[in-house]
Amino acid sequence: MRLIHFTSSILAIGFLAGCSGAEATAEKAAATAETASKAASAVQHAANKPGRPDGPKLSGKPSAPGVDISGLPSGTYKSEAGHAYIAFSYDHQGYSRPILRWGKFDAVVNLDSETPANSTVTAEIDVASIDSGVDVFDEHLVSADWFDAANHPKITFSSTEVNQIVTGRGTLTGDLTIMGVTRPVVLTTKLNKIGKNFRNQNDMFGISATAHVKRADFGIDKYISTGADIAIKLEIEFQKEN
């Protein structure tokens, strides 16, 4: 209706100007009609833009296929220490989101490339290797107030379900154990690339993954009003054992 009203208004202005006999000519009438036609075309073009509620919705192109894990041979793949990172962050009273990491851990993938769902993933983190960038804080974090590294020196993960979809993205579900408490956790995982290490030609792949946990679920409830929800991020490259 807005399109009809807009076009009609322009035509009416041209018609009234012609009837006044002031200076209207056939040439000006033709120019007015052309202007009206261009305006109507512009309005129609705007209406057809995606995202407009009064215009048609344009379907996007299908996403490109992702990395296919079946391009790698089955076998045991281990995290490469020089290119593997496990970090976590939390909301510190709304002022910032500190980022901490563990410097020492091992992760192992037993890959079944023909049936990726049959693959398994395990990981073991050295609790004492936590690194906040502040020595005093690190000492506090490994104390009994927090991770209690003396009595619980390892954090472990063992997969229970691997769901790798065709786009190279999927979920990894498993049991996470912290301070002797085991809870299920789901990691959203992206397979970044498969290939061969350029130095030793070992088969390899890299992943990015994220997860969210509540620290109180694992008995870490000191100052629970601060940073109750923990965001975990992993960037890991795996190489095949020969």
Residue 86 confidence (pLDDT) = 98
Q: For the beta carbon of residue 108, count every other beta carbon within 10 angstroms.
A: 16
pLDDT at 45 over 80: no
pLDDT at 30 over 90: no
pLDDT at 66 over 80: no
DSSP label of 70: G
pLDDT band, residue 223 (cuts 50/70/90) = confident
pLDDT at 169 over 60: yes
Residue 63 confidence (pLDDT) = 42
CATH superfamily of 69-240: Lipid/polyisoprenoid-binding, YceI-like (2.40.128.110)
* 112 contacts 118 by C-beta, under 8 angstroms: yes
Place of tokens 């994220």: 210
The more confident residue out of 20 and 205 is: 205
